Amino acid sequence: MAEIGVLAAETQDRTELSALLGELGHRADPAADLAGAVESARELKSRAFLVVDGGGSDAEILTRELARAFPLLPVLVALKTRDARRAVALMRAGAVEVVAPPWTREDLKACVAKSLRFQGTAVSPLRLAPRRRSAVWYGLAVGAFFAMALGVASLRRVERLRQAAAARVDFWDLPVSHPAGLAFDGKDLWVVDWFSQSLYQHSRSDAKVLGLRHLTAETPVAEAFATDAVWTATADGAVVRRMKDAKLTPLERFPNAAPGAAGIAFDGLYLWTLDARAKVLRKHLLDANLTVLSSYRMPGLKPVALVWDGAALWTLDAGDRLLRRHNLDRPEEFFAAIPLPEYGDGVYMPTGLTWDGERFWTVAERRDGKGPARLFRHRLESAR
């Protein structure tokens, strides 16, 4: 509540304004002239003046006088007639606020409140228009900030997951301990186990065993799927062509066609065998004797497996722990080598290799012979 001096020549104006101020919780000290208003303000310690302009009184003069007598007290002017230029003139004369007619409780409340908290204009020659935004704008800004933070966090999480996935090596332990080769029939993986003389059919998605073929008459060491046949190489150097049926029925046997065989591959025209002992790659004609057309000395420490990926021959080197892509015209040369960090710890020794159209797969046995063999699915980055 504030003590406010009301200066109006007409009684009706004083009464009306006093009533409005009373409704707003202020105490009005009405006066009919300047002397009365000054006297009243000195006695009652008024905090502001409300002066009526018109009706026999000139608020411009009154405002100047009051501002001179009470320089720290705000003066409000209530216009009896709306006139914007007059209002500006009154403000220049010292009125803090000017209330337009008709005088309402709301207008008067706002003007009195502003007058009691009066501040001058802040000026600057340099800045552009000041920015004032609504709470909605600030809400949006805060929301945008959190959205950006969330986005950054999501991107980081995606990157972290990607790195984790890249660092992860897909592998499965197998129910065999002595794998010698690996093949892919277009749908499933086949692990050749020389110890149990068997071919294990595994699901490509989870390495689950789907089937088993015992080859009781031979010791398989390598296998390759062609369009119309299955080729297997045996430990005694024989190559067997088989029917692509459930039993892998033998069709033709080629004794001593691939001595020391560790890998076998079919490129659609020629059969290729890898002699691990002699470190020699042989190219066979598909005739009655699988005639060797040419032999190539293999690079590396210990080539142990061979695969045709549809475009090139690849060998797996267990000594160097890498894959080599060979020049088909001069297979003794290679023009790409992909390291296999999965074998970096030396616990497993790779023995078989295949390509499923997307990734390389290898099978390996433990070097200490204690424990199951392991099937590795290599990362996409390792692909061609």
Would you tell me which residues interact with another protein (CB under 8 A)? 82, 84-85, 87-88, 91-92, 96, 98-100, 106-107, 109-111, 113-114, 118-134
CB of 7 to another protein, least distance (A): 20
Closest among 333, 295, 294 to 313, alpha carbons compared: 333
Minimum CB distance to another protein smaller for 119 or for 227: 119
Minimum CB distance to another protein smaller for 39 or for 65: 65
CB of 27 to another protein, least distance (A): 20
CB of 104 to another protein, least distance (A): 10
Residue 269 CA to residue 127 CA, distance in Å, equals 81
CB of 74 to another protein, least distance (A): 11
Minimum CB distance to another protein smaller for 135 or for 246: 135
Minimum CB distance to another protein smaller for 96 or for 340: 96
- Which H or E element spans position 17? helix 11-23
Minimum CB distance to another protein smaller for 88 or for 144: 88
The total number of residues written for the chain in this structure:
384
**Which residue is listed with tokens 């409340």?**
109
CB of 29 to another protein, least distance (A): 23
DSSP secondary-structure letter at 299?
Answer: P
Residue 363 CA to residue 377 CA, distance in Å, equals 9
CB of 92 to another protein, least distance (A): 5
Q: Which two tokens stand for residue 316?
A: 């797996």
Minimum CB distance to another protein smaller for 128 or for 167: 128
Closest among 238, 283, 284, 236 to 257, alpha carbons compared: 238
Strands 374-377 and 170-173: antiparallel
Minimum CB distance to another protein smaller for 96 or for 183: 96
Minimum CB distance to another protein smaller for 123 or for 269: 123
Q: Which two tokens stand for residue 362?
A: 């290898």
Strands 189-193 and 179-184: antiparallel
CB of 113 to another protein, least distance (A): 4
Query: Would you list the DSSP string of 219-233?
Result: -EEEEEE-SS-EEEE
Closest among 380, 375, 331 to 357, alpha carbons compared: 380
Closest among 63, 51, 117 to 90, alpha carbons compared: 63
Residue 181 CA to residue 65 CA, distance in Å, equals 111
Instruction: Tell the burial category of 342 from Cβ atoms under 10 Å away from its Cβ (0-12, 13-18, 19+).
Output: buried
Q: Which two tokens stand for residue 213?
A: 């073929």
CB of 114 to another protein, least distance (A): 5
Minimum CB distance to another protein smaller for 133 or for 367: 133
The number of angstroms, rounded, from the C-alpha of 195 to the middle of its chain's C-alpha atoms is: 48
CB of 79 to another protein, least distance (A): 10
Residue 73 CA to residue 42 CA, distance in Å, equals 12
